[in-house]
Structure 1
Amino acid sequence: MHYFFGGNKSFWRDTVSTIIDRSFYEIGYNHWFQWIVKGFVVLVLLSAGGYLVLQFFKKQVSTNKLFLSSLFLIAGISIVSTIIQHHFLGTLYLMDRTVLFLLVLFNLLLVFFINEISKTRKLVAWITHLFAVSVIIHFVLSFNFKYVLEWKLNADTKEMLTDLEKIKEIPKEKNNVSVGIPLMFETDINYYRDIKNLSWLNTVSRSTYTTMLHDYFYLAQKDLAKLNPDSIEIIKTYPITKNVLAKPKYRFRNISAGFDKELYFEKEPVQRFYIESHIEYSPGFTYIINDSIASIKNAVLIFKTKVMTYAIKNSNLSIVVSLQNADGCYLWQNAYIRDYIKEENVWTDVYFSCIVPPEVKAGDELKVYIWNQNKQELFVKSMNLKWLQYQ
């Protein structure tokens, strides 16, 4: 159960209404038709309950009715327990996909209830035929190959990445492209980035704020509305989701290096560092932020390393960038090295950029290293870390 996901209005409004509305699949049926459907659901539940109670008092309960009785009890207990948990334990009412099991129970209850009634009233059986025809018509109207309703906002992500690959302009100082996104797009973009080997695209991370340090943006309409329209240039609006691919309208003119650090391994055997299976953390960079670089809030970290591995498939090593102060770590981002390596036994340049959060202050500690969390193997020839300031 998703304890953080749900509603707190009422069982009818949060659970019943949302699952029925979702079942309409955003088809604009008449308002009265929608209320008729909701009334039909209530009518079936009350009729089935009344029928079973009546049969019980008439002492006409048989083994044939046990399955129908069991379905009604399961549905009833599920509904009542949800309401009780909300009032006594403070749990949220189930919504959307978390309540799909009730939709299955209702359909089973409807079919077996009509089957039971039709034994004595043959005309009632036509209700199931009418219901089946209605469901088929609705299915035809809502069927598509582009998206499922719960994840509709991600329907255009694949197309967006194809478009971006064609038009991308990679900044010389970064060697890759960064895309600003809200949380909902993070998993999907990184998935396509991995399976399509989009090494030109920096690993994306969700952010609570939008900065013009990104090279491009992929935003939903609600996120776009938070930005100053004069600060961005919309490249494309996608028809299904209305999401937009955009870029900053104005670029920073002055770019300077706050620091530029190198790490070579000439003294190691064959002039490279060998991250063996028993080594969890590689050598890396540790830097205490000073006043001169903390004063400029528009900054990007650029990390570059040259690596080689004998096994890409099972490699789970990652680059880690972290910033922490006396209160703890407030930035932790990582990028998997396997996303950049296309061939085994070949030295490969790996790039990762990270936007410095505006809350950085003098005295904070910056760390950048390779994390070997699953105890695998990697050869590292060099590392480079730059702090670029944009003005």
Structure 2
Amino acid sequence: MASSSAHHHFLPNIHGGATAAPPPTPSTTQPNNAHFSSAASEASADALAGLLHRLPPSLSLPSRRRSTAPSSASLPAVSLAGDGGSSDDLLSAATESGYFDLTDCGTMIPSELAHSAESDSLSLFGLGEEQKETWLPKAWPLGYEAVDGEEAETGSFCLDADCSTEPSSELKLTSLREFTRALGEIGLKTVEKLASAVGFDNPFGHDPTRLCTFMWIHEGISGDKPAISGGFYPFVVCLQYQIREQKYCLMTESGWVTVAPRVDSVLVTLGDIAQVWSNGKLKKVRYRPVACSSQGEGDDGRSKRLTMSLLLTLPMDSRVSPLMPGKDDGDEGLGEEEEEEDGEKRVFRSFSFEDYAWRVYNERLYFKDPLDRYRTRL
């Protein structure tokens, strides 16, 4: 698997510290009699977004956002085995819910490795603030980010596939690195299975430079209501190994739901990029799984929880578009007649991954689907 550090181009943080948000990008919505997918309008919006990336920080954004209590949901069980039944289960879960539990990962990720990786992750939060910022400096989206506010003890680390740190760092993170690579291999197999089941070419299989792998480690307070800390980041799939019994809250397209993965399984959630690639056929989960409280955690049902989420995502210079048969990834500005292929029309227009990632991370669009601006009018 290609290392994200070799292919990912990070945006410069010329002001130091954690990156703040630019002013919101103006809406590209046009009057009803205008063509919604105008190439000129999209180019102008992308150019403006690129300019805003380089403006000084001017807005203060909330560090946490709480929501209403989620509803319980069943968690589909899926196997990566090659029989037809497992493929049907995968397709059903991906198109109906956007999340599922991989139950046959024990041979690929030993339980001992997951526990050792957790110990490595906990050691990161045991560092002093100066060490965190020196050894794992912020280079968006990589590095350490503290979460300010009422619960200042929360924070997150975003690491590349090699779990790289500054050369002067004393951190080894050997188990975490091995764990990240093992989860990444499972993620690649999952994307390959999804592409085959839905009917689009797997870009990761043909061009490994299109792949970036991030390990997102977050330490926060679990509660009976989900609380989002930090910004979103677009992904194809997100994988989370279940070390012990723990409930998680997922922000689905129908609202917050609570699921309980099996111990030693891998919780998989599909992201916005997977939904665009499938031309809207796949459901998505908009955020990384959030730890929810379980019974017996104390009088207030709240405790400190560590989550390790593996994101398979794209390099900054990528363009995102539906992977339809007979169409190039870069097709843009097509008329309605040209958008149709074998009776299927594009649900999404092509867009810049860099501009999209910056927007959803910094604007903190908690309750608005950021893909709406790229949908075509059918």
TM-score, normalized by length of structure 1?
A: 0.25
TM-score, normalized by length of structure 2?
A: 0.25
Larger Cα-atom Rg: 1
* Higher helix proportion (structure 1 or 2): 1
Return the structure number with greater relative CO, CA threshold 8 A, min gap 6: 2
